[in-house]
A and B are shown apart, each in its own frame.
Chain A
Amino acid sequence: MVPIAEQAPLGGHRRVELTVRGNASIALSWRLLLHQPVRLVMSAAGIAFALLLMSLQLNFRNALLDSSTELIRQLDADMLVMDDEKDPFLSRDNMPVVRMFQAQSVRGIQAAHPIWMDLMFWRNLETGLERPIRVIAVDPGDPVFVDDELNVALARLAKPGTALVDRRSRSGYGSLSPGPAQVDRHPLEIIGTFSMGADFEVDGNMIVGYETLLDLQGVNRADPEAILLHVEPGLDLERMAQEIAGVVPGDVRVLTKERLLERDLEYWRSETPLSVILLVGVGLGFAVGVVICYQVLYTEVLDHLEEFATLKAMGYGDEFLRRVVVAEAWFLSVLGFVPASIVALLFQRMLGSMTGLAVHFSWFASGSVFILSIGMCTAAGILALAKIRSLDPAELM
C-alpha cells in the first residue's frame, strides 16, 4: 500500500499530498521510512529474520501434528477399536482379535477390518544400510484406506512376499521402485507405491498383507493393532461408540475417527517436548522481533526528536505522533512479512523434500505469522512511544 497520493504537477513541481484527512500520519511515517532506503532494507531484513524464525517453528509444529496423524486421516473408518493403552495411535499396542467379533455383534455395525503395525528394518540395497520402517499390514481386499486407488492395490498384496512402499519415504531407503527389497533380512517384492510421508518416529512406511507380516515376524498369528469399524449410515457415531464400549471388555477403547484425531493432536501438541520446544521457539522469535523492531523505531524517533517536538509546538497532538510511530511499525511489519513468507516457503519446500515431513504452506500458519508480525511491531511501537511521550517542545528553544 502506498498511502501517498501523487498529485498532478502544480506550477511545474510534483508534490505529495499530506493532508490530515488524507491520513497525514500514515503518509509521514511512510516518507520517513522511505527516506533512508538502506536503513529500511536492513530494518525489514531484521524483522523478516525474526518472522522467518517464527514461521519455520510454526510450520514445523504443524508438520509434527500433520505427519503424526496422517495415518489416522488415511484410514477409512467411522470408529476404531484399539488397546486401552494405545495412546498415541502410532504407539504399538495390539489387542485380542476376539474384540473385533465382539464389536461386530453390535447392531448397526456394517463392517470391521483389522490392521496390524510393526516396526522393522528396511535394507537399502544400494548402500547395505538398514533403516527402521513402519510396516502396516491389512487383510488384502479390505478397503481400509480412504484412497480408492490404494484400496484396489491392496488386493494385490494377497500374494505372499509382496509390499507397497511409501514413495514419500526419506531418500535413505534407496530405490523405492517396483522390484526386490529386503525387510528384516527377508526378501520382498515391491509391487507399487502409495503416499503417506515420514513422521517424527520413522522415516518411511510400507504396507503388506497379513500373511506376509506373519512371514516377516516368523509367527503363526498376530494380534491386530486396531479394528476399523463402519456403521450403517445415519446412526449416531458417539452413541454407537458408547454401545460398543459397553459390549467389549475394558482392555480396549472405542473412539470415533474424529475423536481419535482430536486426542492424538492434543497428545502431540501438549505431551511431546518437541511441540513445546517449537512453541517456545515461536515465542523467542517474537521476542527477538520486538527487540529488533524496537531498536529500529527507537532510532527513528531519536533521529527525528527535534522535528517531532516542532510538530507539537505547531499544534500537533501526541495522538498524531503516536499514529506516526505505530504506522511506521506496521509498515515495517508488512515489509518484513513479505520476504519472510517467501523465504519460509522456500525453506519449507527444501526441508520438506529433505525430511519427507509434511511441511507445506498453510494459510492458517501464514495468517498466524502475519498477526504475530503486526503484534510484534505494535508492541515495539508502544515501547518506542515512551520516548515520544517525554518530548518537550520547550527544549527546542
Chain B
Amino acid sequence: MIDSQVRREPAIQVEDLEYAFGEAEARKVVLDGIDLSLAAGEFAIMTGPSGSGKTTLLSLIGALRSPQQGGLRVLGRDLSRLGAARGGEAGDLEAFRRRLGIIFQLHNLFPALTAFQSVQMSLDLHDLSVEEKDARIEGILAKLGLEERFDYKPERLSGGQRQRVAIARALVHEPELVLADEPTAALDAENTEIVLELLRELARKRRTSVLMVTQDARVFEAADRLVHLVDGRIVSDVQTG
C-alpha cells in the first residue's frame, strides 16, 4: 500500500551515510559521507570501479544490511529503525522488503521450481487473487520472451533465460523501488532492451524508482541519472538526456 504523502517525498533519501567493514585496525570504510536522493519514478544508474561501494550502498538501501551512521530513508521508512532488533515492529523488515524488487547478479533460482513457480514465490507474498497472480506471471514471463518456458526448471534454461526469470520474479509484484545489481550482464542486446523497457514502463506507469548498478554502457542512455562512485564517495551525479 502506498501512502500518497509518502510518495511525495523521495523514494530514496541518503544523508551523510557512512559504512565500514571490520573493526579497529581492520576497519575499512567503504561508504564515506554519501548524499543521494532519488525521486519516485526516477531511473538512476550507479557506476564506479570495483570496491567503490556501489553494491554496499545498494544492499543498505535494500535493507539487507543495517546502516551504521548517517541518515537513510527509503519509501518513507527510516531504515535504522527497521526490524524488531532495531526497535521496530516485528515483521516490518519483511513487509518493507516486499515493497522492493531486488535483482541480484546471480539468479539464485530454486532448481526444484519451474520458471512459473519461481515467479509465483514472489507474488505469493502479496494479497492477490489466483487469477490476478496467474495473469501477472504469464504476462511478465511472456514479455521477457519466456512464454514457452513456463514449465522449465533452471537446469533446462540458458544463463540468460535464468536471469530473465529472476528479473520477472523481482518485478512481477510491481515494486515501488527496484534495486538491480548488474541485471543485464548475462543478457544479449535484444533482451537487455526488453528488460530496460519493462523497467521504464514500471517507472512511467507505477512511479517505480529504479537504482541500477551496472558497468554495461548499453543501458546508460535508458537512465534519468548517472551516479558515479569512487572510493565510497559520489564523485559525479548528472542528469542524462
CA distance A317 to B124 in the complex (A): 13
- Check A396 for interface membership: any CB of B closer than 8 A: yes
| B150/A18 in contact, CB under 8 A | no
Q: Which A residues, 2 to 27, have Cβ-Cβ distances below 8 Å to chain B? A: 10-11, 13-20, 24
- Known A394-B65, A397-B59: A315·B125 in contact at CB below 8 Å: yes
Closest residue of A by beta carbon distance from B149: A13
Min Cβ gap B172→A in Å is 11
CA distance A149 to B54 in the complex (A): 91
- Known A10-B134, A31-B112, A393-B64: A315·B124 in contact at CB below 8 Å: no
Min Cβ gap B177→A in Å is 13
Cβ contact of B124, chosen from A14, A20, A397, cutoff 8 A: A20
| A28/B97 in contact, CB under 8 A | no
Residues of B within 8 A of A101 (CB): none
B4-12, B102-110, B193-201, B226-234 - the one binding chain A = B102-110
Residues of B within 8 A of A20 (CB): 124-125
Min Cβ gap B58→A in Å is 6
Residues of B within 8 A of A394 (CB): 59, 64-65
Min Cβ gap B41→A in Å is 22
CA distance A317 to B95 in the complex (A): 9
- Check B111 for interface membership: any CB of A closer than 8 A: yes
- Known A314-B125, A316-B125, A396-B64: A15·B116 in contact at CB below 8 Å: yes
Min Cβ gap B204→A in Å is 24
- Check A32 for interface membership: any CB of B closer than 8 A: yes
| A304/B110 in contact, CB under 8 A | yes
Cβ contact of A18, chosen from B94, B102, B121, cutoff 8 A: B121
Min Cβ gap B103→A in Å is 10
- Check A276 for interface membership: any CB of B closer than 8 A: no
Closest residue of A by beta carbon distance from B106: A306
Residues of B within 8 A of A365 (CB): none
Residues of A within 8 A of B114 (CB): 15-16
Closest residue of B by beta carbon distance from A304: B110
| B108/A315 in contact, CB under 8 A | no
Residues of B within 8 A of A393 (CB): 64
Residues of B within 8 A of A313 (CB): 62, 64, 97, 102, 104
Interface size range on B against A: 35 or more
- Check B130 for interface membership: any CB of A closer than 8 A: yes
- Check A309 for interface membership: any CB of B closer than 8 A: yes
Residues of B within 8 A of A31 (CB): 110, 112-113, 117
Closest residue of B by beta carbon distance from A24: B124
CA distance A315 to B124 in the complex (A): 11
Q: Which B residues, 92 to 138, have Cβ-Cβ distances below 8 Å to chain A? A: 94-98, 100, 102, 104-106, 108-114, 116-117, 120-122, 124-125, 130, 134, 138
- Known A11-B150, A313-B64, A313-B97: A307·B125 in contact at CB below 8 Å: no
- Check A355 for interface membership: any CB of B closer than 8 A: no
- Known A313-B62, A396-B64, A397-B104: A28·B91 in contact at CB below 8 Å: no
- Check A239 for interface membership: any CB of B closer than 8 A: no
- Known A34-B112, A397-B64: A314·B97 in contact at CB below 8 Å: yes
Cβ contact of A35, chosen from B56, B59, B95, B112, cutoff 8 A: B112
| B55/A315 in contact, CB under 8 A | no
Min Cβ gap A92→B in Å is 65
Min Cβ gap A31→B in Å is 4
Most buried by B among A13, A24, A31: A13
CA distance A309 to B181 in the complex (A): 16
- Check B221 for interface membership: any CB of A closer than 8 A: no
| A18/B106 in contact, CB under 8 A | no
- Check B216 for interface membership: any CB of A closer than 8 A: no
Residues of A within 8 A of B102 (CB): 313-314
Most buried by B among A309, A392, A396: A396
Cβ contact of A396, chosen from B91, B97, B108, B121, cutoff 8 A: B108
Min Cβ gap A243→B in Å is 68
Closest residue of B by beta carbon distance from A310: B108
Interface string of B168-184 (1 = CB under 8 A from A): 01000000000001000
Residues of B within 8 A of A28 (CB): 110, 112-113, 121
Min Cβ gap B62→A in Å is 7
Q: Which A residues, 160 to 212, have Cβ-Cβ distances below 8 Å to chain B? A: none
CA distance A310 to B65 in the complex (A): 14
- Check B78 for interface membership: any CB of A closer than 8 A: no
| B121/A314 in contact, CB under 8 A | yes
- Check A71 for interface membership: any CB of B closer than 8 A: no
Interface string of B57-80 (1 = CB under 8 A from A): 011001011000000000000000
Cβ contact of A307, chosen from B56, B110, B116, cutoff 8 A: B110
| A24/B121 in contact, CB under 8 A | yes
Most buried by A among B55, B65, B105, B117: B117
- Known A13-B150, A397-B64: A315·B112 in contact at CB below 8 Å: no
| A397/B120 in contact, CB under 8 A | no
CA distance A129 to B97 in the complex (A): 81
| B150/A317 in contact, CB under 8 A | no
| B95/A315 in contact, CB under 8 A | yes
- Check B237 for interface membership: any CB of A closer than 8 A: no
Min Cβ gap A77→B in Å is 63
| B124/A309 in contact, CB under 8 A | no
Closest residue of B by beta carbon distance from A33: B112
Q: List 10 A-B contacts (CB under 8 A).
A: A15-B117, A24-B124, A31-B113, A31-B117, A306-B108, A313-B97, A315-B94, A315-B125, A394-B64, A396-B104
4 tightest Cβ-Cβ pairs between the two chains A and B: A35-B112, A315-B98, A315-B97, A13-B150
Apart from A18-B120, A315-B96, A396-B108, what are 19 other A-B pairs with CB-CB below 8 Å?
A15-B150, A18-B113, A24-B121, A28-B113, A31-B110, A306-B106, A307-B109, A311-B121, A312-B97, A314-B97, A314-B121, A314-B122, A314-B169, A315-B94, A317-B94, A393-B64, A397-B59, A397-B104, A397-B181
